[in-house]
Amino acid sequence: MHLNTKIREGSFELTSCSRRLQRWCVALASCITLAAQAQTGPGASNVQELQVQLWAASCMACHGPQGRAEGTGLTIGGRDANELLGRLLAYKLGQRPSTIMSQHAKGYSDDELASIAAYFASLK
């Protein structure tokens, strides 16, 4: 935080410089603040968690809110993580018949699929 303050103080000294430079300094200061928050803010792994939630949100378009597409047979929320991951990997390798899922699964690394499977499993 005090890094940000220092940079902001620095930009006050730049009164003789162009406004463009000042604006750049302010933008840089807020970037540094954001980066600092991403690393040290509440829950350091937040960025990673948000990434997984973002991926999962795209799955929910078809698999329902919280992965619970009631009545369609596509519910994935609250199911066993290993079972979900097994299916996702099988889709990725083309070992499980699918209309759309093999294409989705191919877009993620195995580790990413494991994180997504764990996330849906956690939605009890």
Q: How far apart are CA 6 and CA 69, in angstroms?
A: 51
Residue 55 CB burial class (10 angstroms; 0-12, 13-18, ≥19): middle
Q: Does 92 bind ligand HEC (CB under 6 A)?
A: no
Candidates 25, 29, 88, 121; binder of ligand HEC (CB under 6 A) is 88
- By CB under 6 A, is residue 89 in contact with ligand HEC? no
Please report whether residue 84 would count as binding ligand HEC according to CB under 6 A.
Answer: yes
Please enumerate, as own/partner, the contacts of 60-67 that have beta carbons within 8 Å and a separation of 24 or more.
62/100, 66/123, 67/120, 67/123
- Stretches 9-17, 33-41, 46-54, 96-104: which one binds ligand HEC (CB under 6 A)? 96-104
| Site residues (vs ligand HEC, CB under 6 A) | 55, 58-59, 61-63, 74, 76, 84, 87-88, 98-101, 104, 116
